[in-house]
Amino acid sequence: MTTYEAFYRQSVDQPDAFWAEQAKLIDWQTPPTRMCDNDHPPFTRWFGGGRTNLCHNAVDRHLKDRGQQPALIHVSTETGAEETYTFAQLHEQVQLAAAMLRGLGVGKGDRVLIYMPMIPQAVFAMLACARIGAIHSVVFGGFASVSLASRIEDAAPRLIVSADAGSRGGKVVAYKPLLDEAIYLSAHKPEAVLMVDRRMAPLDPAPGRDWDWDALALRHQGEVVPCEWLDSNDISYTMYTSGTTGQPKGVQRDVGGYAVALAASMKHIMQGEAGGTYFCTSDIGWVVGHSYIVYGPLIAGMATILYEGLPIRPDAGVWWSLVEKFKVSAMFSAPTAVRVLKKHDQALMKKYDLSSLKALYLAGEPLDAPTARWISDALGVPIIDNYWQTETGWPILTIANGVERKASKFGSPGVPMYGWKVKIVHETTGQELTEPNQKGVVMIDLPTPPGFMQTIWRDDARFVKTYWESIPGKTAYSTFDWGIRDADGYYYILGRTDDVINVAGHRLGTREIEESISSHAGVAEVAVVGVADTLKGQVAMAFVVPRHAADVADDAGQFKLEGEIMKAVDSQLGAVARPSRVRFVTALPKTRSGKLLRRAIQAVCEGRDPGDLTTIEDPTALQQIKELLAG
Question: Is there a domain that residue 346 lies in?
Answer: no
Q: What is the pLDDT of residue 110?
A: 98
Q: What is the pLDDT of residue 242?
A: 66
Last residue of a domain, one of 398, 416, 440: 440
Beta bridge partners of 115: 139, 162
Q: Is the torsion defined by CA of 307, 308, 312, 317 positive or negative? A: negative
387 and 412 in contact (C-beta within 8 Å)?
no
Verify that 533 and 415 share a domain, yes or no: no
Q: What is the pLDDT of residue 193?
A: 98
Q: What is the pLDDT of residue 591?
A: 58
Q: What is the pLDDT of residue 268?
A: 98
Q: What is the pLDDT of residue 600?
A: 84
Question: Is there a domain that residue 28 lies in?
Answer: yes
What's the mean pLDDT in 2-19?
Answer: 96
Verify that 525 and 404 share a domain, yes or no: no
What's the rounded Cα separation, in Å, for the pair 100 and 549?
A: 57
Verify that 205 and 76 share a domain, yes or no: yes
Q: Which has more pLDDT, 367 or 388?
A: 388
Verify that 543 and 407 share a domain, yes or no: no
Among 18-27, 30-39, 468-477, which stretch is predicted with the lowest mean pLDDT? 468-477
Total domains, the chain: 2
Q: What is the pLDDT of residue 56?
A: 98
264 and 276 in contact (C-beta within 8 Å)?
no
Q: What is the pLDDT of residue 594?
A: 54
Q: What is the pLDDT of residue 575?
A: 84
What's the rounded Cα separation, in Å, for the pair 269 and 415?
A: 12
Residue 602, domain CATH: 3.30.300.30
Question: Is there a domain that residue 363 lies in?
Answer: no
- Residues 6+ positions from 507 with CB-CB distance below 8 Å: 241, 242, 390, 500, 501
Q: What is the pLDDT of residue 589?
A: 84
Q: Each residue of 336-387: pLDDT tens digit?
A: 788 888 888 888 888 999 999 999 999 987 787 778 888 998 999 999 999 9
Residue 157, domain CATH: 3.40.50.12780
Verify that 436 and 509 share a domain, yes or no: no
- Residues 6+ positions from 109 with CB-CB distance below 8 Å: 133, 134, 135, 235
Verify that 395 and 534 share a domain, yes or no: no
Last residue of a domain, one of 396, 425, 440: 440
What's the mean pLDDT in 330-336?
Answer: 91
Q: Which has more pLDDT, 397 or 505?
A: 397
Domain that holds residue 513: 504-630
Strand runs (DSSP E) across 340-393, as ranges?
359-362, 383-385
Verify that 418 and 522 share a domain, yes or no: no
**Any idea what DSSP says for residue 294?**
I
Question: Is there a domain that residue 228 lies in?
Answer: yes
Q: What is the pLDDT of residue 429?
A: 87
Checking if the pLDDT of 244 tops 60, the result is no
Q: What's the burial of 428, exposed, middle or buried (CB within 10 Å: 0-12/13-18/19+)?
A: exposed
Cis ω before 42 (30° cut-off from 0) = yes
Of the candidates 40, 72, 46, the residue with the CA atom closest to the CA atom of residue 59 = 72
What's the mean pLDDT in 179-192?
Answer: 97
Q: pLDDT band at 153, cuts 50/70/90?
A: very high
Checking if the pLDDT of 593 tops 50, the result is no
- The string over 291-322, giving b where at least 16 C-beta atoms fall within 10 Å of a residue's C-beta and e elsewhere, is bbbbbbbbbbbbbbbbbbbbbbeeebbbbbbb
**Any idea what DSSP says for residue 33?**
S
What's the helix, strand, coil split of the chain in %, to 5?
35, 25, 40
How, if at all, do strands 192-196 and 159-163 pair?
Answer: parallel
Question: Is there a domain that residue 342 lies in?
Answer: no
> What is the residue-wise DSSP string for 108-156?
TT-EEEEEE-SSHHHHHHHHHHHHHTPEEEEEETT--HHHHHHHHHHH-
Q: What is the pLDDT of residue 201?
A: 96
Strand runs (DSSP E) across 264-323, as ranges?
277-280, 303-308
Of the candidates 62, 58, 108, 98, the residue with the CA atom closest to the CA atom of residue 226 = 98
Question: Is there a domain that residue 215 lies in?
Answer: yes
pLDDT above 90 as % of the chain: 72
Verify that 529 and 397 share a domain, yes or no: no
Of the candidates 519, 558, 543, the residue with the CA atom closest to the CA atom of residue 597 = 543
Verify that 390 and 251 share a domain, yes or no: yes
612 and 584 in contact (C-beta within 8 Å)?
no
Q: What is the pLDDT of residue 628?
A: 85
486 and 345 in contact (C-beta within 8 Å)?
no
Of the candidates 480, 505, 27, 374, the residue with the CA atom closest to the CA atom of residue 227 = 27
Checking if the pLDDT of 617 tops 80, the result is no
Q: Which amino acid does the sequence have at 191?
A: E
Q: What is the pLDDT of residue 118?
A: 97
Query: Residue 506: phi, psi to the nearest 5?
Result: -100, 120
Q: What is the pLDDT of residue 246?
A: 59
Q: Which has more pLDDT, 615 or 440?
A: 440
Checking if the pLDDT of 233 tops 80, the result is yes
Verify that 515 and 620 share a domain, yes or no: yes
Q: Which has more pLDDT, 86 or 497?
A: 86
The mean pLDDT value of the chain amounts to 92
What's the mean pLDDT in 152-180?
Answer: 96
Q: Each residue of 84-110: pLDDT tens digit?
A: 999 999 999 999 999 999 999 999 999
What's the mean pLDDT in 484-502?
Answer: 85
Verify that 205 and 106 share a domain, yes or no: yes
Q: What is the pLDDT of residue 6?
A: 97
Verify that 512 and 425 share a domain, yes or no: no
Question: Is there a domain that residue 327 lies in?
Answer: no
Cβ–Cβ contacts within 10 Å for residue 492, how many? Answer: 19
Of the candidates 48, 72, 181, the residue with the CA atom closest to the CA atom of residue 126 = 72
Three-state secondary-structure class, residue 316:
coil
Checking if the pLDDT of 183 tops 90, the result is yes
Q: pLDDT band at 612, cuts 50/70/90?
A: low
Checking if the pLDDT of 172 tops 60, the result is yes
**Any idea what DSSP says for residue 292?**
I
Q: What is the pLDDT of residue 243?
A: 57
Question: Is there a domain that residue 212 lies in?
Answer: yes
